[in-house]
Amino acid sequence: MAYFTRDFIEFFRELEKNNNKQWFDANRKRYEKSVKKPFQQFIEEMIVRLQQLDPELVIEARDAIFRINRDIRFSADKTPYKTQVSAIISSGGKKDKTLPGYYIEIKADEIRLSGGVHMLDTKRLHRVRTYIAAHLDEF
């Protein structure tokens, strides 16, 4: 399960210093080879492994992986690219973060793994809290 090379990390270190369209366009093929494709293969394997624990988990890697382009419309940070790759492995994927899932984020100097749900509305949050309170030993 070795997907990532040193260039995966170096790409993000360099992107942090050169976060602009001109640099990214000049390094686009490198991004595809050293970052995008290996991360997609990694997520594909993670999905297969997680399906062994949760057979109802139905998703493809493309539905789990977030884009590297940032949405700068309402952000104070106007850099155009994220300095990490990330994915959410759940049946809802990146489009529905309210379903339980696993979040993976890899930066040049950090790996973040999380599990759970994100941004629940009031009714769902109440149901989750009530369930946990009623099943404390199991929780």
Is the backbone of residue 21 left (phi > 0), alpha (psi -120 to 50) or beta?
A: alpha
Does residue 87 contact residue 65 with C-beta atoms inside 8 Å? yes
- pLDDT, average across residues 43-47: 96
CA 111/CA 118 separation, integer angstroms: 19
Is the backbone of residue 134 left (phi > 0), alpha (psi -120 to 50) or beta?
A: alpha
Q: pLDDT-derived band of residue 1, with 50, 70 and 90 as boundaries?
A: low
Query: What is the pTM for the complete model shown?
Result: 0.87
Q: What is the pLDDT of residues 53-68, one digit of tens each?
A: 999 899 999 999 999 9
**What was the pLDDT predicted at 119?**
81
Q: pLDDT-derived band of residue 96, with 50, 70 and 90 as boundaries?
A: confident
CA 63/CA 30 separation, integer angstroms: 23
For residue 137, give both structure tokens: 């030993």
